[in-house]
Chains A and B, each alone.
Chain A
């Protein structure tokens, strides 16, 4: 079965989704979904080990050799991403039973888990595959289920948010499809490795240029790069808390992965960074994203929305690291992909716990919560510190590598701006701390108890991971470094 690990990674959650429909009973379905996600997590650990030991694994689907058939190609980069996605998915699912109890009406619980697993499947499929069209198919699975999951939110505005996301996401996916179609027309192949071999000959044609532009813009819509981020704040603030915790940690990361995969592996480094002024463009957009989104975050009254804007800012950091186009820069981006997933899933889960007890995540309802829900609030504080980038948390590690990369290139002004961006994070995190610890509780809230264990355990698993990987960086840094070296070295 070890030889089949790459495909098991995707089909275990995939097959589990329709099986959930047959099980029907929401409680059983939850356990089953958790089990499937856990298996996927174990699979990803084994895969990462295997890739680090022996190098890239190729799996031919249907037994057909690569350009004729579809292949899965697991290298260090996507093994790392698979690990992040399945890890977050499993931990978030632990809290899901309590999490959706009050936020989604009970007859929809089974369908919630089905959609959750489908979304997981979609993301894993996008990351695992080595075929450009297969990316699109699984992108559709993850997007469709994402729209539905967001629309399940209790707030009626969730429907509108999901609709906005649907329109923007569909445009993004269509652009990606147009780009893939043009690439196919010019090369006759859909296999990524084959594409990377055949594209350089014709890289000067206008069709390939158009294909590149469509793919990049499409992916940027998906990853909510400033100024294409407008769908994200609404989607994240009105979706059920569990959904937000899952997507904030994974969905945009998958888009970052696609960006790296298409620019580095498919189109190739020289093409990607010379045909378009991509480097300047991305540096500017990344920095603008950091500043505009962080500033907007400061003025938010809804804490979920506040962290949604903060997510857009964090994407800015990843894009800055990416556009340095050096080994250290890409390492910083990959580290931040991992670390940000840990912070944001913890923070949004904690907000879910607040929602569960208080029924609102408006800043004014946080007054006095420091005493009423000490463990949850402590988690938010640690997560916030990590978001700022305080030493001994994961946030510090990725920002440290980002600064190293910038200084390596001698880009001092950018480095200063990145540091200033972190100062903005201090302000918005402080607003929550101030409300929770230094304001008296609201008079009419009654008795608010600490969050239930089913919430606290996953939250604190993630928070401890935030601290552990902030101190012991061997695993994350070595994998991220190896992945980015392999991308700069021999390509795919």
Chain B
């Protein structure tokens, strides 16, 4: 489609008109939702709106032809973060406290920042302009040489996993750090976890939602399968370890939401999840170390195999696995810690009443 656009001036015009319309609709939706989020006091509605915001941004990215980014936004912004925020309000309560102070200073700061952002756009190259500096310097190298140097069709993956593979390593470590941070702060005492009473209570409520349980059981295998597809298909289409990890975690989280945390813990024990968070980072890191030891620079996949292209394939496959492993297990770990906290609180309340 991209190539067509540059050939035929007529298609450009028609295409642009429709795209412009879609953009206007999407962006005005985004603005409305942003205002609604600020104004609303009902946190449940706010979370739903935030999820919609994520989904709309994802659609917006699709119209910009950034499908990989859109995919990530859809799975993270609309998917997992909504789940995590829902878990949070199940602990904090549904309604925001009314505040009396009027944060004028904050408003001024937002206003100044906004003006500076708009000021900054005044000299920007036009959107999609072929003459924009981004299209002329580094990007052409990726587009022209990715196939011969790395040999996979998805240029986004080759930039992300190989040309700028060290950034991706850093990002995996960011996620690992987030997981360890949540774990360290919300850590639940092991002794208090033997809450069979709560388990029973949970089960009784869950039995009321027979349809939810049934649908979840039907869906979970397919979600897991889809996650694996996304994991291994990153070389050829949008996808990769980040999205796959999040989707995989979403399936597990869905399971533990419907069938109770303790049932989920029986399937996937927490210590194993904890180890897997580290294992993903270590897998990524060890690919780098192996390339160091085989005479290349850190994360130079060319030296992993006799044929550089095969080396690149192997390297990308392994690091994507590392990414998926850490992302999925960190998400599950964060969820376990959040809702473990909730279980504890319920247990305390339970004890107080009896």
Given A18-B278, A62-B300, A186 contacting B133 (CB threshold 8 A): yes
- Are A185 and B124 CB-contacts (below 8 A) given A4-B298, A14-B285? yes
Interface check A444, CB cutoff 8 A = no
Cβ of B268 under 8 Å from chain A: no
Within B142-197, the residues touching A (CB, 8 Å) are 142, 162-167, 170-171, 173-174, 176-178, 180-181, 183-185, 187, 189
- Within 8 Å CB of B303, what residues of A? 63
Which size class do A's interface residues fall under?
35 or more
Residue in contact with A14 in the complex, picked from B134, B141, B162, B173, CB distance below 8 Å: B173
- Residues 266-282 of B, flagged 1 when their CB comes within 8 A of A and 0 if not, give 00000000110111011
Cβ distance A152 to chain B, nearest Cβ, rounded Å: 6
Tell me the bound Cα distance from A67 to B132 in angstroms.
Answer: 17
| CB-contact partner of A11 in B178, B296, B298, B300, under 8 A | B298
| Cβ–Cβ contact A59 & B187, under 8 A | no
Query: In the complex, are the beta carbons of B174 and A144 less than 8 A apart?
Result: yes
**Chain B 102-137 interface 0/1 with A at a Cβ cutoff of 8 Å (1 = within):** 000000000000001101111111000000111111
Chain A residues 157 to 182 lying within 8 A of chain B, measured CB to CB, are 178, 182
B254 within 8 A of A: no
Q: Determine the chain A residues whose CB is within 8 A of the CB of B121 once the complex forms.
A: 207
Q: What is the CA–CA distance of A372 and B178 in the complex, to the nearest angstrom? A: 42
A64-B163, A69-B164 known; A206 vs B184 contact (CB < 8 Å): no
Q: Which residues of chain A come closer than 8 Å to B302, judged between CB atoms?
A: 63
Q: Pick the residue among A19, A62, A133, A207 that contacts B120 (CB under 8 A).
A: A207
In the complex, A274 has a CB within 8 A of chain B: no
- Partner among A62, A108, A144 whose Cβ is within 8 Å of the Cβ of B298: A62
- Chain B residues with CB under 8 Å of A453's CB are none
| A63-B300 CB under 8 A given contacts A188-B135, A211-B120 | yes
- Per the bound structure, the CA–CA distance linking A214 and B120 in Å amounts to 10
Size of the chain B interface, CB-CB below 8 angstroms: 58
Q: Specify which chain B residues have a CB less than 8 angstroms from the CB of A265 in the assembled complex.
A: none
Q: Is there contact, CB below 8 Å, between B299 and A4?
A: no
Q: Which residues of B contact A (CB under 8 A)?
A: 116-117, 119-125, 132-139, 141-142, 162-167, 170-171, 173-174, 176-178, 180-181, 183-185, 187, 189, 274-275, 277-279, 281-282, 285, 288-289, 292, 296-303
Listed by A's residue number, 9 A-B pairs whose Cβ atoms lie within 8 Å are A4-B297, A62-B300, A144-B178, A152-B184, A182-B124, A188-B134, A188-B135, A188-B139, A207-B124
Q: Which 9 A-B pairs have the closest CB atoms?
A: A210-B120, A188-B137, A148-B181, A63-B300, A18-B278, A137-B170, A205-B123, A188-B133, A111-B184
Apart from A63-B302, A125-B170, A137-B170, what are 6 other A-B pairs with CB-CB below 8 Å? A17-B176, A22-B278, A62-B300, A115-B180, A141-B174, A188-B134
